[in-house]
Amino acid sequence: MIDISPLDRTRESALRTLIDDKAKPVGSLGRLEALALQIALIRGEDRPVLGKARSVIFAGDHGITAEGVSSHPPEVTAAMVSNFLAGGATISAFTRIAGAELRVVDAGVASPLPAHPDLTDAKIAPGTRNAAGEPAMTADQCRTALDRGIALARDAVAEGVDILAPGEMGIGNTASASLLVHRLAPAPLGDVVGRGAGLDDEGLARKRAALAKAAARTDTTDPLGVLAEFGGFEIAMMAGFMLGAAAEDRIVIVDGFIAGAAALTACRIAPAARERMVFAHRSAEPGARAILDALDADPLLDLDLRLGEGSGAALAIPLVRAAAAILTDLADYPRGAEG
């Protein structure tokens, strides 16, 4: 599907010395120094100058909402897309603060969406099928979603984007993400199912029952098979987007639970993609811990966020730029010159 090579680490020691030899006490910038090293390795440059940052929100609806797994009706997906494009959503505000572009992709919203200059129509179908009773998508639909995500990442890179921060919108997508994490981490299903956007106890019980029914349909562990069985079009396209960005040696900022499930899927398809990923925050959703453990990831922020939309990824964009600035903007102070 896509070839992603491991990072070339032949200059890792030299890069560590460059970072140590900046005008600051060695190690005084903590994890930002490790992030600076990662950025330099991703970009293959001693002084990586980063271009534009772009938050791309993938939107899609889920057939499994018919099982009562969400506290909101599916129509909210389209309504939130309109809010993103109108500039009134949390991600709209956060991308403005971060100085990033915002784009929205219709990967599979059930309702028709009016044309907008910041909206890309990449719709696979008007929502997935109900994964509690049948595969959420066909194998062809799954591959098409991945391929379209890869193409969107390549287009962004061609437009001068070096920092890609994908996010999502889709009523019912925490159910889909829970199934993906359950099978691909792997992790017990009961440990990765949360309340999503505010389910009460009765709703949580319905969600658990529906996901147990879905998981019992198949025992596949093949990443593409799992994605087709349980994924959403927006999650599949976001996974492809991450793969495409990684193949172009660009920085992928991973948001919370849903984006984390896409990242987990991408890494199971192409393990070397993991090296290009920066994990933004520790989501409050219970399944997020399983993702971080499976990918050996330590996120930059811990703010009890559970909104989605790529909101945590947008907050991490300035930290990525700050880390790169260690190599590009700080004065050199070789330690051998002391004394």
SS3 18: helix
Range picked from 78-82, 195-199, 305-309 for highest mean pLDDT: 78-82
Contacts of 108 (CB under 8 A, 6+ apart): 59, 60, 61, 123, 124, 125, 126, 127, 128, 145, 232, 233, 234
pLDDT of residue 337: 55
Region 276-281: mean pLDDT is 98
| 127 and 84 in a common domain | yes
pLDDT of residue 338: 53
pLDDT tens digit sequence for 154-191? 999 999 999 999 999 999 999 999 999 999 999 999 99
Percentage of the residues of the chain whose pLDDT score is greater than 90? 93
Q: What is the CATH number of the domain that holds 167?
A: 3.40.50.10210
Q: Per mean pLDDT, which range of 35-44, 99-108, 295-304, 330-339 is the poorest?
A: 330-339
Region 99-122: mean pLDDT is 97
| Phi, psi dihedrals of residue 211, rounded to the nearest 5° | -70, -35
| 226 and 80 in a common domain | yes
| 192 and 90 in a common domain | yes
| 62 and 34 in a common domain | no
Determine the length of the chain: 339
Contacts of 132 (CB under 8 A, 6+ apart): 64, 66, 67, 210, 211, 213, 214
- Count of Cβ atoms closer than 10 Å to residue 114 Cβ: 9
pLDDT of residue 1: 72
Under DSSP, the state recorded for 159 is T
In a domain, 178, yes or no: yes
CA–CA dist 278, 297 (Å, integer):
8
Q: Which one is catalytic: 75, 134, 309, 338?
A: 309
Percentage of the residues of the chain whose pLDDT score is greater than 70? 99
- Count of Cβ atoms closer than 10 Å to residue 181 Cβ: 30
CA dihedral sign of residues 286, 288, 290, 293? negative
| 251 and 235 in a common domain | yes
In a domain, 2, yes or no: no
| 195 and 180 in a common domain | yes
| 221 and 104 in a common domain | yes
CA–CA dist 21, 27 (Å, integer):
10
The answer on pLDDT for 271 being more than 60 is: yes
| 156 and 22 in a common domain | no
> What secondary structure does DSSP assign to 52-84, as a single string?
EEEEEEEEE--GGGGGS--SS-THHHHHHHHHH
CA–CA dist 302, 280 (Å, integer):
9
Whether 285 is a known active-site residue: answer: no
pLDDT of residue 210: 96
| 177 and 94 in a common domain | yes
| 187 and 67 in a common domain | yes
CA–CA dist 41, 183 (Å, integer):
31
Task: For residue 200, count CB atoms less than 10 angstroms from its CB and return exposed for 0-12, middle for 13-18, buried for 19 or more.
Answer: exposed
pLDDT of residue 317: 98
| 69 and 18 in a common domain | no
Give the torsion through C-alpha atoms of 231, 234, 243, 2, to 10 deg: 70
β-pairing, 277-279 vs 251-254, is parallel
Q: Which residues pair with 53 in a beta bridge?
A: 163
Number of domains making up the chain: 2
Cβ contact 21:36 at 8 Å: no
Q: What is the CATH number of the domain that holds 33?
A: 1.10.1610
In a domain, 7, yes or no: no
- What is the domain range of residue 297? 52-318
The answer on pLDDT for 339 being more than 50 is: no
Region 328-339: mean pLDDT is 79
